[in-house]
């Protein structure tokens, strides 16, 4: 078996150097036509010259990746088609969160996320029509685990995971496969942040053959999956969900009840591995919640006396329920919403019950305005619950650029702006709690929600980095993925099941995670619905390490696919970039004795 790419046209973005250049040379050497995209025309031309001199076919494209139509047009003009798209272009703008500018945030999301959207969007109708397409999206360990000084980059890179998973669902009936990779490779980007001896081992040549293998028509089916690749080591990463705890959904379901059962929520002794939202058995958990006895409470009660809490999108739904809960437990509440009527009605409800609250009527992107309302009215802020969101669901084929932009702006940029505004206050007082909102769509992907999946997954990446940067200031940050009842479920659930599921059943976890009682849980993701609460974390397969004396081939990847993707006793649970890198670094010494990667 030898993989030829004759007759294929591959578009590689950011291909003037590093990984992109290596992809271009490898695909061309195996017969593909290559579009070498890079904003640096001279660098791209050098790569094209090298390909042409070796007898291959390639053209330069210098368009910005945000102009996806122009990038894909080069392939159509030169080679009359496109079959493979490798979204590789990237930039870094590393900065501690406190000092990060909006421009540095926007530039990163623009190139990494919007660029991948724009190029994929332009290729998608062609892929659909020919019933073949391969898309590689480039995530990173920083996206999976968070990384100090990379809040912008972590958000964008994790966003690409949600995007990839959704594309996999939408492309399945058209033979369009989308794969996410988190590569560790030397490039102009990583040169600034890694020591030379490490870079010497992290050659791009040890990443490219994997990408070629999963892009070939006869290659293994990796669609919707995530792989960490570097220095000859390849492993798959997937979500692992704890069995979780079930709570009776009555007045005893409180933050104190959540605290009392915390060890049960985070117990991974009976894990589950979900592949889609359809795998979430809401009916079963609801029935268990209905039958459960009243919930034991921790003592003393989890309370918020003297604390000021900001809740965004609090004029209705989940946000409203959060606001009422915090007030009941003694907090001052800032009720943010774009709807003045909604925000005012919630404040009135709180005041009538004897609580203290004020409105902040503006977009969640006006973080400074919201924080100013907290400081002006209550003299401080201690908790941020970033809950605001909108939906613009459309199949990827029909999704407009505006529908992509607005969902990313409200969810991801709104969360960033609010976190940014509270950060200096939290740092100074050495106390802060941040709770952000993902969704099962951001975890597993979902048909018709490419924009929402990218935004929600991006929030997870951002939150993990906030947890890392906040650690020494006692700023804890966590993210939840709540499942809500929908108009759809109303037609299939009996009345008592619907009653067993309201936003009130999400609030207790939010309360506990944002309380002073929680003094160590940070950077974690929780899934919950109708009285069931579980933690979700990464699991990495034992993987396979190829010898580092010479690059492995795409054919070698196929041969070792089972070892790469088997989750057995060798599986690990990396929770940081350094843990993730450890196994890759261990493979530096693999000189060809063909041992399996050690734990």
- For the annotated catalytic residues, the residue numbers are 153, 157, 452
- How big is the CA angle at 542 (ends 539 and 547), to the nearest 5 degrees? 140
Torsion angle in degrees (nearest 10) through CA of 107, 435, 506, 405: -10
Torsion angle in degrees (nearest 10) through CA of 106, 109, 114, 120: 170
Alpha carbon distances (Å) from 518 to 35, 303, 478, 511, 553: 52, 11, 11, 10, 49
d(CA 139, CA 162): 10
DSSP 475-532: EEEEEEEE----HHHHTTS-HHHHHT--GGGTHHHHHHHTSTT--S--S-EEEEETTE
Q: Which residue has the tokens 């809500």?
A: 484
Largest CA distance in the chain: 79
Tokens of 36: 């070498």
User: Cα 364 vs. chain centroid, distance in angstroms?
Assistant: 20
d(CA 171, CA 133): 8
Of 142, 168, 138, 136, give the one whose Cα is nearest residue 155. Answer: 142
d(CA 438, CA 432): 20
Of 172, 222, 183, give the one whose Cα is nearest residue 87. Answer: 183
**Paired strand residues for 449:** 394
Q: Which residue has the tokens 């049960």?
A: 264
Which ranges in 356-395 belong to alpha helices (H)? 367-378
Backbone angles phi, psi at 148, to 5 degrees: -55, 130
d(CA 575, CA 464): 10
d(CA 180, CA 433): 31
Tokens of 596: 């399996």
Which class for 160: exposed (0-12), middle (13-18), buried (19 or more C-beta within 10 A)?
Answer: buried
Sign (positive or negative) of CA dihedral 360, 485, 163, 84: negative
């Amino acid at each position: 078996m030898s993989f030829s790419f004759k007759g294929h046209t591959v578009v590689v973005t950011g291909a003037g150097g590093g990984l992109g250049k290596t992809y271009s040379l490898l695909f061309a050497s195996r017969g593909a036509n290559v579009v070498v995209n890079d904003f640096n025309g001279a660098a791209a031309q050098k790569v094209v010259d090298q390909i042409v001199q070796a007898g291959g076919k390639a053209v330069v494209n210098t368009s910005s990746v945000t102009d996806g139509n122009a990038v894909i047009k080069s392939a159509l003009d030169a080679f009359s088609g496109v079959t493979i798209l490798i979204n590789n272009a990237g930039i870094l703008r590393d900065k501690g969160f406190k000092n990060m500018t909006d421009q540095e945030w926007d530039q990163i999301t623009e190139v990494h996320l919007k660029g991948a959207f724009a190029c994929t969007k332009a290729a998608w109708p062609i892929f659909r029509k020919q019933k073949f397409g391969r898309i590689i999206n480039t995530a990173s360990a920083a996206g999976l685990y968070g990384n100090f000084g990379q809040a912008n980059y972590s958000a964008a890179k994790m966003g690409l995971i949600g995007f990839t998973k959704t594309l996999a669902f939408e492309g399945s009936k058209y033979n369009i496969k989308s794969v996410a990779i988190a590569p560790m490779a030397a490039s102009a980007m990583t040169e600034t942040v890694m020591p030379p001896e490490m870079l010497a081992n992290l050659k791009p040549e040890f990443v490219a053959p994997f990408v070629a293998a999963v892009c070939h028509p006869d290659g293994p089916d990796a669609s919707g999956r995530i792989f960490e690749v570097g220095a000859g080591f390849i492993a798959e990463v997937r979500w692992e969900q704890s069995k979780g705890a079930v709570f009776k959904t009555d007045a005893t379901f409180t933050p104190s009840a959540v605290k009392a059962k915390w060890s049960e929520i985070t117990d991974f002794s009976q894990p589950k591995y979900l592949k889609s939202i359809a795998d979430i058995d809401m009916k079963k958990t609801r029935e268990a919640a209905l039958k459960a006895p009243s919930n034991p409470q921790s003592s003393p009660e989890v309370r918020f006396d003297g604390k000021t809490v900001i809740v965004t999108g609090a004029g209705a739904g989940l946000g409203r329920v959060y606001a009422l809960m915090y007030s009941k437990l003694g907090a001052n509440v800032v009720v943010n919403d774009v709807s003045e009527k909604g925000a005012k009605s919630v404040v009135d409800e709180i005041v009538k019950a004897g609580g203290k609250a004020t409105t902040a009527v503006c977009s969640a992107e006006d973080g400074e305005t919201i924080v100013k309302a907290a400081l002006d009215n209550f003299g401080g802020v201690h908790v941020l619950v970033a809950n605001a969101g909108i939906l613009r669901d459309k199949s990827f084929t029909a999704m407009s650029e505006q529908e992509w932009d607005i969902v990313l702006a409200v969810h991801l940029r709104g969360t960033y702006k609010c976190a940014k505004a509270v950060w200096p206050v939290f740092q100074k007082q050495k106390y802060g709690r941040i709770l952000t909102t993902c969704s099962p769509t951001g975890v597993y992907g979902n048909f018709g929600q490419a924009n929402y999946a990218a935004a929600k997954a991006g929030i997870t990446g951002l939150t993990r980095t906030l947890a890392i940067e906040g650690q020494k200031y006692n700023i804890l940050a966590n993210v939840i993925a709540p499942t809500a009842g929908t108009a759809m479920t109303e037609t299939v659930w009996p009345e008592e099941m619907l009653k067993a599921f309201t936003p009130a059943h999400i609030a207790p976890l939010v309360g506990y995670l944002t309380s002073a009682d929680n003094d160590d849980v940070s950077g974690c993701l929780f899934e919950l619905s109708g009285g069931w609460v579980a933690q979700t974390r990464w699991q990495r397969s034992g993987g396979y390490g190829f010898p580092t004396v010479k690059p492995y081939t795409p054919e070698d990847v196929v041969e070792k696919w089972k070892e790469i993707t088997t989750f057995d006793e060798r599986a690990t649970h990396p929770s940081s970039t350094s843990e993730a890198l450890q196994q890759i670094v261990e493979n530096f010494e693999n000189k060809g004795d063909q041992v399996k990667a050690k734990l």
